[in-house]
């Protein structure tokens, strides 16, 4: 019963806040505190949803999600193994962490000129930018998580005959899962921001391009429609990653 009530509250509070936000938005527009061109009213934006769908909103969503998925999965696929290796190898960690921190500190958007020169326009430069935005934070988070695992856990596991892949899957990965999942949530949000920015500057399709196109055509109502879609997808992606924490072995890591 408590769990059900908690779930209801978790749903109702954001919905209530969203409704209050829309009412405040409507009031600002109704009292003309801003020009309609600068702040389109909610009903105008609602009418723009159908128009934007007709202009290819769903296609743009698919394109942006594809780019984010490929770049993010490539970053996870490389970042986690590299982080595991660095976490277990002190000399390699000391040698490479300054370089990894250097690249992590660079804005992903600084790579846009090179991405266009190397890959042209379309999917590949956007995937490259997302990869560059996500891979270094994931490497650092995984490295730190592995390095912080108490050595006694490995000693006990070896006493029980664990070694190799079994030690990795039964001890190391469950222990680092909470930190890695948190890093994935952060970098997934960052990746979504980067793909929109990249599409605005160098794309010819996708949600970022749709935002830029709406701005150039002075259609701020359609711009707001795309902004809302971008935000809702970002929330949905984060909620999807949160579900990883419900895996039994991952929950064990949280309990530790």
Same domain, 164 and 215: yes
CB 92 within 8 A of CB 155: no
Same domain, 119 and 210: yes
Q: How many CB atoms lie within 10 A of CB 115?
A: 23
Same domain, 28 and 75: no
pLDDT for the residue numbered 112: 85
How many domains does the structure of the chain reveal?
Answer: 2
pLDDT for the residue numbered 168: 76
Same domain, 22 and 86: no
Q: How many CB atoms lie within 10 A of CB 110?
A: 11
Query: 220-242 vs 173-202: helix axis angle to the nearest 10?
Result: 170
CB 228 within 8 A of CB 141: no
Same domain, 12 and 50: no
CB 195 within 8 A of CB 130: yes
Same domain, 4 and 118: no
pLDDT for the residue numbered 135: 94
Cα 145 to the chain's mean position, in Å?
A: 20
- Read off the pTM: 0.83
Same domain, 114 and 134: yes
Per DSSP, the chain holds a count of helices (H) and strands (E) of 12, 0
What is the domain extent for residue 186?
41-255
Phi, psi angles (nearest 5°) of residue 247: -65, 135
Same domain, 26 and 56: no
Q: How far apart are CA 128 and CA 145, in angstroms?
A: 26
Same domain, 16 and 64: no
Same domain, 210 and 85: yes
Q: What is the CATH number of the domain that holds 198?
A: 1.10.3720.10
CB 180 within 8 A of CB 138: yes
pLDDT mean by block of 10 residues, the chain; 256 residues: 64 83 81 73 85 87 91 94 89 90 88 86 87 93 87 73 73 82 89 84 81 83 89 88 72 52
Please give the torsion angle defined by the CA atoms of residues 63, 125, 121 and 221, in that order, rounded to the nearest 10 degrees. 50
Same domain, 6 and 82: no
H helix intervals, 148-218: 151-159, 164-167, 173-202, 207-216
Same domain, 22 and 3: yes
Report which of 191, 179, 197, 93 is spatially closest to residue 142, judged by C-alpha positions: 179
pLDDT for the residue numbered 149: 79
pLDDT for the residue numbered 69: 92
């Amino acid at each position: 019963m408590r769990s059900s009530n908690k779930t209801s509250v978790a749903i109702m509070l954001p919905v209530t806040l969203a409704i209050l936000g829309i009412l405040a938005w409507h009031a600002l527009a109704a009292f003309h505190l801003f020009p309609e061109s600068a702040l389109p009213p909610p009903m105008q934006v609602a009418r723009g949803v159908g128009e934007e769908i007709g202009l290819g909103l769903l296609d743009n969503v698919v394109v942006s999600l594809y780019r984010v998925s490929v770049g993010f999965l490539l970053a996870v696929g490389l970042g986690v193994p590299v982080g595991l290796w660095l976490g277990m190898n002190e000399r390699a960690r000391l040698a490479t962490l300054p370089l990894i921190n250097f690249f992590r500190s660079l804005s992903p958007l600084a790579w846009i000129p090179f991405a266009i020169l190397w890959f042209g326009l379309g999917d590949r430069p956007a995937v490259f930018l997302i990869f560059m935005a996500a891979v270094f934070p994931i490497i650092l988070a995984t490295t730190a998580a592995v390095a912080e695992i108490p050595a006694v856990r490995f000693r006990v596991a070896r006493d029980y005959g664990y070694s190799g892949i079994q030690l990795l899957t039964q001890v190391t990965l469950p222990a680092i899962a909470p930190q890695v999942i948190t890093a994935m949530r952060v970098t997934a949000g960052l990746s979504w921001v980067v793909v929109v920015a990249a599409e605005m500057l160098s794309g010819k399709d996708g949600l970022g391009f749709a935002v830029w196109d709406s701005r150039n055509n002075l259609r701020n109502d359609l711009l707001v429609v795309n902004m809302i879609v971008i935000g809702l997808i970002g929330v949905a992606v984060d909620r999807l990653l949160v579900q990883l924490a419900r895996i039994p072995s991952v929950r064990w890591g949280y309990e530790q």
